[in-house]
Structure 1
Amino acid sequence: MIPNSRAARIRRALVLGGAALGVVSLVAGCVRPVAGTGAAEHWSATRVAGLEITTGASGPRAGVADSRLPVAGSDGGEADRLARNAVDDVQRYWAEELPASFGRRFEPVARLVSYDSTGPGVAICGTGTGGAVNAFYCPADDTVAWDRAQLLPMLNDSFGPMAVVAVLAHELGHAVQSRLGTVDGRTSSIVREQQADCFAGNFIRWVAEGNAPHFQLSTGPGLNQILATLFFIRDGAETGFEADGAHGNAFDRVSAFQFGFGDGPGRCARIDEAEVRRRITQPAGGQLSSSGRETGDLPVNDRESLLALQETLRAAFDRGGTAGPTISPSLSACPEVTVTAPAAYCPATDTVGLDLAELARLGTSPGQGQGGIGDFAAFAEVASRYALAAQHADGFPLTGLATAQRTACLTGVWAATIVAGRGAVLQLSPGDLDEAVAEMLAPRSLIAADVNGAGIPSGFARVEAFRDGFTSGAPSPCLEKYR
């Protein structure tokens, strides 16, 4: 996150003193009726995108004969066996789905190529493979290629075999584009990649439904691993969405994948320049250079940072004149509530307590070796406890899975109020929403947790709830959907 130029002029009505950070009004806005709002969207605590949340095995099916697809350059090893089976399943899916959804026949790709990025390079699509730790689709000769020496083993070791399947499903998504003609030479890279992530989501849903011959996927931990893979292969914060080769930050890549997983291929084919520019959160290159971002993360336990956070929360949730919870720089026991760290809400005393040392650890960047995620992840965990105070004031229950999802959604509403250019004393900077994704994919996400720290085991569902709030920018849809 970055401080706005107004940060030096934070209103001194927010006084930091003694054992409290001040009084914040949180609840207003959470009960305002919205004219024209339709019936609440159906939601279930046991389902994700219409499928039951499962925790079973994910990966290759046992006892299934391997694919016999020809792969040029293969060494016959485990990495190529995994890739060959993945490509076979993806192509089986599109052989069924392309005619059903678009009335088009799906022709298998002309050539599959395996190469060793550590060995002598070979030319594929006019580019040498030496040192190319990559997987790609070449439209010029309709080829899908992958690095069996470094990329596939690294994905498998870090995230499991379904990470390899997801990456190859993305590359074959480009082959689908080629067959449908949804892109051409004028199409930007970000549109191409968002479509391919979405098409990968179509296929992965088919796997989760139990249809794939070679693979199976749970919609709890298994799907979480795929989202973690998208986080890992995201664009860096220094890459603008207009850059040649831009794929998207983690938030945008996960969003496109979720569109595909939740909707049919037609949704993916509709992704175009206008749609991407309307919802993309990754800044353009010019916005990156002019953002004035300071190096590193804000010190989240710093007095000025906490005062600025307080002001943004008041702006997001204040109903005018209604006192919100007391904010304490320490955690205390709370009757009938499990105290969570680094932030907790106690309804009995209407207090949000903070563990400043743990908050600071979480707020450090991952590169500092303290197990942190970043400043936005830390601030968002505090915001989630504020969101509980808002719900408590309006009579909503503070325990249960609906509360956890409602809290994630309201935290997304707060995040929408600090988008750069909206005048908040704290503003989102490149990479901040990716930190939210990383936090919500953690086993014990506080952003998407009830007052006791309990939440849905599906990171997919958590991120979806956060995006609901971020996209709507208003509390009412959160309160209506997650009941």
Structure 2
Amino acid sequence: MSTDSGRGPARWVALALAGLVMALSVTLVVAAATATGRGGSAVATERIDTTSGGVPIAVAGSFGTAAAAGDPLDPFTSSADGDRVVSAVLADLSDYWTATIDAAGGTALRSPTGGFVSMDSAAPAGSSGSSGGGALCIADPAQIAGNAFYCPAQDGIVFDSAALVPVLLGSYGSGGLAASFAHEFGHAVQAQVGPTPADRRADPDRYPALLIEAQADCAAGAFLAAASAGTTARVHLPVASLTRAVAPLLDFRDRATVAPGDPTAHGLALDRLNSVLHGFRAGGLACWAMTTADLSPTLGRAGVLTDPPVTPRYGTTAAALDAAAASVSAFAGTPPAAPDPTDVERAVTIGQFAAGAAVARATGRAAADDDVAAACFTGAWTASVFGSAPAGSLGSWAGDADEALDLVRSRPGASFAELAAYADGFHGGRAACS
């Protein structure tokens, strides 16, 4: 893959900041992404149509040369190409929320007054193509490396064209890019319909950051529902792509050591999935009605160790599987099933609770002969031990519920319905699996 002269090392440093591994030799074609990300491979019909136009995007630093007319866009080598893709997504988001709020008889949605700004986080200050400064709430481009922000004071969205847009498209596909920007656009809508920044300042206990971020995740879920139903003009997202689409929201989770009252709290992966599901199922307007009473976060859950020791709980994976077999058998009231060896192999890179989840999944699958029911059973078993298990056993570490979710979604071909079933089982128990 080519980069503009003299910029390669700096650009890959910026990409590394996003914490993701990509095949750097891939040239991305937006119309039909082929990269494989978490949650499976791209689907041929997953695409973002840039021919229908988009919203205006201001540029605070750029790199590369835009694709010539008729050539495929390549956000890896040109920020202008990535900006066109983001512009199309933001246009669909604007259309979706305008129609949603209008249908409810609410105040007409206006475009964010601060607009949308593309920033090259890898550009050295003062270099050609660099603004030499920031934009909106970002003073230094390095502050936004691998990220995007809604800036409340300036009412605008700024994003990194160097280490966010290419990474999202390369690792998560068009759906992952759409979901990530749907979260940020959700904040822009939130600032108009409430809770507004003024609401938060007046009553911070009622509107903690965890709720504000949950509402934005909910907004992303509502938009994904519209896109997967085929009602968005530019974002084309088949249902089979939803698992990968939500993956960046789940991957960019809080550390388990973050307190639920932290001003930067977003939630653990399961928490974020729950909020996405709320919007996906109930629609966009339900997001702004969410309160702290609607949250039951695993972040900060009592009874779990938030900062576990470096050494694993069990000396071997086999010992963790034995412990899981006993726990799952007691929960199911039947002998446990042997886990899929490939699940156990994947669990090694996730954690010992994931190995336990492999036993639970196999047991649920043996009982119901259905992958969705198996995921639900896994969630129900996880909830039965999470926060109530003796110290040092499965269920006693704060990341355990996320490990089980990661095991479910790491399986090739894992469906969005399986992710949803895991969450339903966790919160509703085995009754939710009927």
Report the TM-score, using the length of structure 1 for normalisation. 0.68
C-alpha displacement of 1:178:
0.8
Q: Which residue of structure 1 lines up, in the alignment, with residue 30 of structure 2?
A: none
C-alpha displacement of 1:472:
1.5
Aligned partners of 2:239 and 2:104: how far apart in 1?
A: 24
2:195 to 176, 179, 182: 182
Aligned pair 1:283/2:300, yes or no? yes
| Matched ranges for 1:248-263 at <5 A | 248-263=267-282
1:416 to 377, 383, 398: 383
2:104 to 97, 101, 105: 101
Aligned pair 1:208/2:214, yes or no? no
- Write the letter of the residue equivalent to 2:418: R
Q: Which residue of structure 1 lines up, in the alignment, with residue 287 of structure 2?
A: 268
| Matched ranges for 1:286-325 at <5 A | 291=306, 293-299=308-314, 301=316, 305-318=320-333, 324-325=334-335
- Write the letter of the residue equivalent to 2:347: G
Q: State the Cα deviation string for residues 382-439 of structure 1 (Å, max 9, x = none).
A: 12223355x3xxxxxx53xxx3222221222211110213558532422222222222
Q: Is the 8 A contact 1:362 1:374 kept in 2?
A: no
Aligned partners of 1:384 and 1:409: how far apart in 2?
A: 8
What is the aligned-residue identity percentage? 28
Aligned partners of 1:98 and 1:378: how far apart in 2?
A: 45
Change (3 A) 1:84 1:291: closer
SS at match of 2:264: coil
1:129 to 141, 161, 172: 141
Change (3 A) 1:291 1:90: closer
- Write the letter of the residue equivalent to 1:464: A
Ranges in structure 2 where 5+ consecutive residues have no aligned partner:
1-41, 67-79, 126-132
SS at match of 1:136: strand
Report the TM-score, using the length of structure 2 for normalisation. 0.75
Q: Is the 8 A contact 1:74 1:113 kept in 2?
A: no
SS at match of 1:112: strand
SS at match of 1:130: helix
Change (3 A) 1:182 1:287: farther
SS at match of 1:464: helix
Aligned partners of 1:96 and 1:327: how far apart in 2?
A: 49
- Write the letter of the residue equivalent to 1:57: T
Q: Is the 8 A contact 2:324 2:394 kept in 1?
A: yes
- Write the letter of the residue equivalent to 2:152: P
Q: Which residue of structure 1 lines up, in the alignment, with residue 418 of structure 2?
A: 462
SS at match of 1:160: helix
Q: State the Cα deviation string for residues 263-309 of structure 1 (Å, max 9, x = none).
A: 11232112222222xx111226x977x65623254348456534432
Q: Which residue of structure 1 lines up, in the alignment, with residue 83 of structure 2?
A: 80
Aligned partners of 1:228 and 1:326: how far apart in 2?
A: 30
Q: Which residue of structure 1 lines up, in the alignment, with residue 33 of structure 2?
A: none
C-alpha displacement of 1:170:
0.7
Aligned partners of 2:307 and 2:171: how far apart in 1?
A: 34
Q: Which residue of structure 2 lines up, in the alignment, with residue 159 of structure 1?
A: 172
Aligned pair 1:478/2:433, yes or no? yes
Q: Which has the larger radius of gyration?
A: 1
Q: Is the 8 A contact 2:210 2:267 kept in 1?
A: yes
Aligned partners of 1:459 and 1:327: how far apart in 2?
A: 22
Q: Is the 8 A contact 1:58 1:218 kept in 2?
A: yes
Change (3 A) 1:167 1:298: same
Aligned pair 1:385/2:400, yes or no? no
Aligned partners of 1:327 and 1:197: how far apart in 2?
A: 36
SS at match of 1:57: coil
Aligned partners of 1:128 and 1:470: how far apart in 2?
A: 42
Aligned partners of 1:249 and 1:131: how far apart in 2?
A: 23
Aligned pair 1:376/2:369, yes or no? no
Ranges in structure 1 where 5+ consecutive residues have no aligned partner:
1-53, 319-323, 329-339, 344-357, 365-371, 392-397, 445-456
Aligned partners of 2:300 and 2:252: how far apart in 1?
A: 17
SS at match of 2:300: coil
Aligned partners of 1:189 and 1:127: how far apart in 2?
A: 22
- Pairs aligned (count): 359
Greater Cα offset, 117-126 or 156-165: 117-126
* Bigger fraction of residues in helix: 2
C-alpha displacement of 1:56:
5.0
Aligned partners of 2:121 and 2:336: how far apart in 1?
A: 57
2:119 to 91, 115, 122: 115
Change (3 A) 1:266 1:251: same
Q: Is the 8 A contact 2:119 2:159 kept in 1?
A: yes
- Write the letter of the residue equivalent to 1:122: G
Change (3 A) 1:241 1:300: farther
Aligned pair 1:193/2:213, yes or no? yes
Higher relative contact order (CA 8 A, sep 6+): 1
Q: Is the 8 A contact 2:364 2:378 kept in 1?
A: yes
Greater Cα offset, 169-178 or 294-303: 294-303
